[in-house]
Copies of this chain bind each other. A is one copy, B any other.
């Protein structure tokens, strides 16, 4: 597998925007081969730069991985927003439920569309208390988790959930959707064709959300 030489003309000594180039290369690598392929040296190779140069912009391999994961999380937020934009019909309650389902379906969409970067995003989200990092947001300015909390809060406002249930409900939703995404991308469902997975995702999310109501 040859890396395409993106810069046939010899680059000047200073790259100009190496940080962004490394993140871009990292996203490509993750898309092609998942977390395992997201190697610091491979990213520098792709940017046409020596391995050590990465350390002028990232403190470690993990640090680069987090940066790639942040891009992935933004993309996931946008994927959720896309699903939510389709929710238009129905009364208040129906719309609120559809918005919650859209969070889950957008999450799963992203995982199925780009399993490699989904893996990287979860590594970043999970591996560290990344309180120091600026969280990755979508076009509405919310992280995926905030979009989830927002949808749950609407259900509380409609009196269909009690406020003290919010946290458990949010965690239950996240668990289910994350678990399904994992089973579907790396687990026992990974051989199923995309349409079957979409259908199954719809069933699972529908079952889940229906079960939250009294």
Contact = CB atoms under 8 A, between A and B. Distances in A.
Interface stretch (A25-33, A76-84, A85-93, A170-178): A170-178
A172 B208 contact: yes
Stoichiometry, as copies per complex, reads: 2
A137 to B, nearest CB: 17
A25 B183 CA distance: 29
Interface in A1-17: none
Interface in A149-208: 168-169, 171-172, 174-180, 182-183, 186-189, 191, 200, 203-204, 207-208
A53 interface: no
A174 B211 CA distance: 16
Nearest to A177: B179
Contacts of A176: 172, 175-176, 179, 208
Interface string A116-141: 00000000011101000000000000
Contact of A200 (B168, B178, B179, B188): B168
A212 interface: yes
A210 interface: yes
Contacts of A186: 126-127
A174 B169 contact: no
Nearest to A189: B171
Residue among A145, A172, A187, A210 facing the most chain B CB atoms (10 A cut-off): A172
Contact of A182 (B129, B178, B189): B178
Interface of A: 125-127, 129, 145, 168-169, 171-172, 174-180, 182-183, 186-189, 191, 200, 203-204, 207-208, 210-212
30 contacts: A125-B187, A125-B188, A126-B183, A126-B188, A127-B186, A129-B191, A168-B200, A168-B203, A168-B204, A168-B207, A171-B180, A171-B183, A171-B189, A171-B200, A172-B176, A174-B179, A174-B183, A175-B176, A175-B178, A175-B179, A175-B182, A175-B183, A175-B204, A176-B176, A176-B179, A176-B208, A178-B179, A179-B182, A182-B182, A208-B211
